[in-house]
C-alpha cells in the first residue's frame, strides 16, 4: 500500500538534496578554472619550478637558467624579479665558501633599477641589502630611508609595483600578469601597518654605520625625528668614551713616565754647552725642525694609539647596546 508523502516532507527532502548538490564540485566550475591561461611561458615555468625546488636545486644551475631565460627574453615583465632571484641565489644563504657578495649586490642593484620607486617587498629587500654594505655612503643610506618615509603618511595603491610575482602567476589563479586594483589596495594597507617598524630598522642601520660627522649631518637634516635622536645618543656615547679614555691615559703611570723621560731628555740636551763658533742659520733651523719632528712623532703615536683604542671600544660598546635593546 503506497502512502502519499505530505508536501512538507517533499519540501524538506528537496531542500536537503539541493544543499548536498550545491556542496559538490561541478564539472563546469572545474572547466572554468582550467580554462585560465598559463601566463608563464613553458621555458620560464621550467626555470621557476627548478628554482622553487629548494631541497634539490643547485644554486649555480638556477642562476644559469635564469640568465639564459633573460638572454632569450630581454623584455619579459618579470625581469626585475628575475634579477632579484639571482641576487638571492648569491646571498648569505649560501655556505661561506660560496658566498659572492659582489654578485649579490650587482643583481640586487639591477632589480632595484627595474622596480624603480614603486613598492615591492622584493624592491625593499634588494635596496636594504645594498645600503647595508660598508661601501655605501651616507647619501645612499638616506635615499633608502627617504623612500620608505614617503609611505609613512599614506601608502597608496598607485605606489605599488603593478606586476604580480612569478609565484602568484605560476599558481594559475590570475587572469593577467598585471596586478589588480584590489590586490594593490591590500598591498598598500599591509605596508601602512608595517612602515613604522621598517623605518625604525632602516634608521638604526643608518646610525650604526655613521661616523661622528655623519651623525651631526643626520641631526641637522632630520630634526626631531627618531633617527636624529638616535644619532644624538650615539654622538654623546662616543664623546663620553673619548673623555673617559683620555682621562685613563693621563692617569696611566706608564704614560706619565714616558712623557717625563721625554721631557728630561729634551731638557738635558738643551743644557749642553753651545759650540764655540756661531752656528750656521740653516743648520740651526734643521736641528730645530728635527727636534720638533721627534716630539711631534712621539705625541702623534700616542694620539693614534688612543684613537684606535677608542674606536675599538666604541664599536664594541655600541654593538652591545644594540643587541641588549
pTM of structure: 0.67
Indicate the average pLDDT of the chain: 78
In this structure, are 180 and 319 located in the same domain?
Answer: no
In a domain, 282, yes or no: no
Whether the pLDDT of residue 151 is over 60: the answer is yes
Q: Quick check: is 274 in a domain?
A: no
pLDDT classification of 100: cutoffs 50, 70, 90:
confident
Residues 191, 297: one domain? Answer: no
φ/ψ (deg, to 5) at 280: -65, 140
In the predicted model, is pLDDT for residue 294 greater than 80? no
Number of domains making up the chain: 2
pLDDT at 287 exceeding the cut of 60: no
- Which of residues 175, 209, 243 is at a domain's end? 209
In a domain, 260, yes or no: yes
Question: Which residue is listed with cell 694609539?
Answer: 305
φ, ψ dihedrals at 276, nearest 5° = -70, -25
253 and 185 co-located in one domain: no
Do 59 and 167 share a domain, yes or no? Answer: yes
Residues 158, 300 within the same domain:
no
Q: Which residues contact 195 (CB under 8 A, 6 or more apart)?
A: 148, 151, 152, 155
Range of the domain at 302: 233-265+290-325
Q: Is residue 17 part of a domain?
A: no
Which of 144, 174, 209 is the last residue in one of the domains? 209
Q: What's residue 52's pLDDT?
A: 95
Domain co-membership, 254 together with 197: no
Amino acid at each position: 500500500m503506497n502512502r502519499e508523502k505530505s508536501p512538507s516532507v517533499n519540501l524538506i527532502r528537496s531542500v536537503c538534496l539541493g544543499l548536498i548538490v550545491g556542496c559538490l564540485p561541478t564539472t563546469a566550475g572545474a572547466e572554468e578554472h582550467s580554462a585560465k591561461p598559463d601566463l608563464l611561458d613553458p621555458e620560464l615555468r621550467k626555470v621557476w619550478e627548478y628554482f622553487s625546488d629548494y631541497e634539490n636545486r643547485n644554486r649555480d644551475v638556477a642562476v644559469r637558467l635564469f640568465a639564459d631565460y633573460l638572454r632569450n627574453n630581454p623584455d619579459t615583465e618579470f625581469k626585475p624579479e628575475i634579477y632579484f632571484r639571482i641576487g638571492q641565489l648569491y646571498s648569505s644563504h649560501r655556505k661561506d665558501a660560496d658566498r659572492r657578495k659582489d654578485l649579490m649586490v650587482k643583481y640586487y642593484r639591477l632589480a632595484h633599477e627595474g622596480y624603480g620607486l614603486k613598492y615591492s617587498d622584493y624592491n625593499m629587500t634588494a635596496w636594504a641589502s645594498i645600503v647595508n654594505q660598508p661601501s655605501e655612503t651616507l647619501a645612499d643610506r638616506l635615499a633608502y630611508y627617504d623612500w620608505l618615509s614617503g609611505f609613512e603618511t599614506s601608502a597608496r595603491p598607485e605606489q605599488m609595483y603593478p606586476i604580480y610575482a612569478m609565484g602568484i602567476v605560476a599558481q594559475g589563479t590570475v587572469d593577467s600578469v598585471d596586478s589588480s586594483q584590489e590586490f594593490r589596495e591590500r598591498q598598500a594597507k599591509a605596508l601602512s601597518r608595517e612602515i613604522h617598524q621598517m623605518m625604525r630598522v632602516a634608521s638604526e642601520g643608518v646610525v650604526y654605520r655613521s661616523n661622528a660627522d655623519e651623525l651631526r649631518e643626520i641631526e641637522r637634516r632630520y630634526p626631531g625625528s627618531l633617527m636624529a635622536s638616535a644619532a644624538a645618543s650615539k654622538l654623546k656615547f662616543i664623546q663620553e668614551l673619548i673623555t673617559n679614555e683620555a682621562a685613563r691615559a693621563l692617569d696611566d703611570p706608564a704614560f706619565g713616565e714616558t712623557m717625563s723621560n721625554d721631557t728630561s731628555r729634551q731638557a738635558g740636551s738643551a743644557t749642553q754647552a753651545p759650540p764655540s763658533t756661531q752656528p750656521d742659520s740653516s743648520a740651526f733651523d734643521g736641528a730645530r725642525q728635527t727636534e720638533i719632528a721627534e716630539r711631534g712623532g712621539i705625541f702623534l703615536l700616542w694620539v693614534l694609539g688612543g684613537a684606535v683604542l677608542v674606536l675599538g671600544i666604541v664599536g664594541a660598546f655600541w654593538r652591545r647596546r644594540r643587541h641588549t635593546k
